[in-house]
Amino acid sequence: MRRANTFLLLGLVLGAVIAFLATEAEPYRQVITAAGPTDGPGVISPASDSGTPGPKRSTGSSAPQQGADLNTELPALVPQGHVSVVVYDRTTGTTPVSLDAHRHYTSASLVKLLIALDALDRGSSPGTVREMLSRSDDDTASQLWVAGGETRIVHEAVTEMGLAETRPPKAPGRWGDTEITAADITRVYRYLMDRAPAEHRTTILQALGEATENGADGFRQYFGIPDALGDVRWAVKQGWSCCNPGRILHTSGLVKDNRYIVVVLTENPRTVSYDDAETQVTEVVKHLPGIR
């Protein structure tokens, strides 16, 4: 009986010790969890270069939460397809929004920015270049593309502008199949604003600021930045095509007195109509902070 009482006493003591350790260990576990990373792979964070995610750092709960919200909200606006976004602040030299900036898309008419710069370098008429850009005129683009040596235009731009992710079309005559990323299109605009000859910049900005509501092919090209920002001044180059491989709609340009470069690239399956795809791109721009 004495031995049994001894075992009982030891059991009670051991149980008390285990219970004490459990109550002390739980707060410690919670502290470790709370002190862990407050952002992660999906968080949109500032970047050191256009479209290139910068080093992650904890800035408190509010900033990571904003990034996490955008990371969820923007793709949800293009539920059947893909969206990539870069917003670059030229005043601060930062990238407040960078979402899937390195995904490849076909350029559609965004490659006309490269065609325009090349054409002006070769002495083409500024009026011809403005016509191509403001109305997104495919016939003029094709003439300037051939005159500039077709894929040579892309190869030269890659070298001159540091476009690490841009590729010429596999079929030289199909300039709209040039491969681009949001990061590289941002670099194109940065080159235009910071390094291109002043007269080229003036010609191109005038054309982008006078983009017509309907393109030369009759397609309405005010989706995205123009529709989303209303009376805010903009200078835009839009792109649309179907279907290699999917339905492409891109909006890009400069807003708020040329402070912000905004690039939104989207690709949807063919089952998504142009009307629905236009609405999606416009909603994405509406969700971008600080550009109004």
Per-residue pLDDT reduced to its tens digit, 222-272: 999 999 999 899 999 999 999 988 999 999 999 999 999 999 999 999 999
pLDDT at residue 25 tops 70: no
Looking up tokens 């000859």 gives: 197
Q: 172 with 248, same domain?
A: yes
Domain presence at residue 64: yes
Coil, helix or strand at residue 133: helix
CB proximity list for 150: less than 8 A, separation 6 or greater: 168, 172, 173, 175
H or E element: which one contains 47? strand 47-49
pLDDT at residue 67 tops 90: no
Domain count, the chain: 2
The CATH number linked to 217 is 3.40.710.10
Whole-angstrom distance, CA of residue 120 vs CA of residue 235: 19
Domain presence at residue 211: yes
Domain presence at residue 239: yes
pTM of the model: 0.78
Cα 288 to the chain's mean position, in Å?
11
Give residue 11's pLDDT: 52
Domain presence at residue 199: yes
Domain presence at residue 41: no
pLDDT digits 0-9 by tens, 85-142: 999 999 999 999 999 999 999 999 999 999 999 999 999 999 999 999 999 999 999 9
Query: Which has the higher per-residue pLDDT, 90 or 32?
Result: 90
Q: 11 with 52, same domain?
A: no
Domain presence at residue 291: no
Record the tokens describing residue 224, joined without a space: 């995205």
Looking up tokens 């016939």 gives: 139
Q: 7 with 56, same domain?
A: no
pLDDT at residue 53 tops 50: no
Domain presence at residue 42: no
Domain presence at residue 292: no
Proportion of the chain above pLDDT 70, given as a percent: 77
Q: 126 with 9, same domain?
A: no
At residue 73, what is the residue type? E
Helix 126-134, helix 112-121: angle, nearest 10 = 180
Q: 28 with 77, same domain?
A: no
Largest CA distance in the chain: 110
Give residue 244's pLDDT: 80
The answer to whether 203 touches 125, Cβ cutoff 8 Å, is no
Q: 31 with 151, same domain?
A: no
The answer to whether 82 touches 104, Cβ cutoff 8 Å, is no
Residue 17 domain boundaries: 1-36
Looking up tokens 């710069």 gives: 117
Q: 117 with 24, same domain?
A: no
Q: 243 with 131, same domain?
A: yes
Q: 130 with 12, same domain?
A: no
